[in-house]
Structure 1
Amino acid sequence: MARIPGPPPLTGLKKRIAEHRARVTGSSFVRETYCLTREEAREIARQWFDAFPKAAYWTEVESWRQLEGDRIEFTMRRLSSAD
Structure 2
Amino acid sequence: MKPRDVATRSRELQDLRRLDPDGFFRKTFTLPVEDARAQARDFLREYPTGGYMTIVEHWRQLPDGQIQFTMRRLPCAD
In the superposition, the TM-score normalised over structure 2's length comes to 0.70
Asked which structure has the greater CA Rg, the reply is 1
Q: Which has the higher strand share?
A: 1
Alpha-carbon distance between aligned partners in 2 of 1:82 and 1:47, rounded to the nearest angstrom: 17
Of 12, 16, 30 in structure 2, the residue corresponding to residue 35 of structure 1 is: 30
Alignment of 1:75 onto 2:73: no
Query: RMSD of aligned C-alpha atoms?
Result: 1.6
Alpha-carbon distance between aligned partners in 2 of 1:27 and 1:68, rounded to the nearest angstrom: 31
Give the aligned length.
61
Alpha-carbon distance between aligned partners in 2 of 1:49 and 1:62, rounded to the nearest angstrom: 12
Identity, in percent, stands at 44
Moved over 6 A (4+): none
**What is the correspondence of 1:19-34 to structure 2 with a 5 Å cutoff?**
25-34=20-29
In the superposition, the TM-score normalised over structure 1's length comes to 0.66
Unaligned runs of 5+ in 2: 1-16
